Amino acid sequence: MHEIGIANSILDAVRSEAARYPQARPRRISVRIGELAAIDPDALAFCFTALTRDTGLESLKLVIERCPRRHRCPACCAEFDVAGYDFRCPQCGAENTEFLSGDQLELASMEVEEDEPGTA
């Protein structure tokens, strides 16, 4: 299960980001996962929950956005989501379209909450 390593690197990113804002508490982290990235979102969410337990980050919510495979047509420059294994351009019918994205794993955004002065 390599999702545990991925959950770990997400948490590392959260921690280094949080270190820049000592007054803020991370609330929500969004990651984008391409459908070709071979990552099981359920397993990732499970590992994430397990890793944040008893760390002070229990309230941190992981949001996973799935990204479909996208191709680009060199003939008409259309960009489109690939459904199944049909790589033909939906606009002009060209068959030799180029892989654009769909194997990414990236942090999309992090939401933080400012602590009220005096309550921390």
CA 83: distance to chain centroid? Answer: 20
**Which is nearest to 33 in space by CA: 106, 97, 118, 115?**
106
94 is a site residue for Zn ion (CB under 5 A): yes
Residues facing 26 on adjacent strands: 112
- Which of 1, 38, 63, 76 is close enough to bind Zn ion by CB under 5 A? 76
Question: Tokens at residue 35, please?
Answer: 């459908």
Site for Zn ion in 22-61 (CB under 5 A): none
Write the CA distances from 80 to 62, 97, 98, integer angstroms. Answer: 27, 10, 10
- Which of 29, 67, 73, 110 is close enough to bind Zn ion by CB under 5 A? 73
Scanning 1-9, 23-31, 42-50, 75-83 for contacts with Zn ion by CB under 5 A, the matching segment is 75-83
108 is a site residue for Zn ion (CB under 5 A): no
Interface ranges with Zn ion (CB under 5 A)? 73, 75-76, 78, 89, 91-92, 94
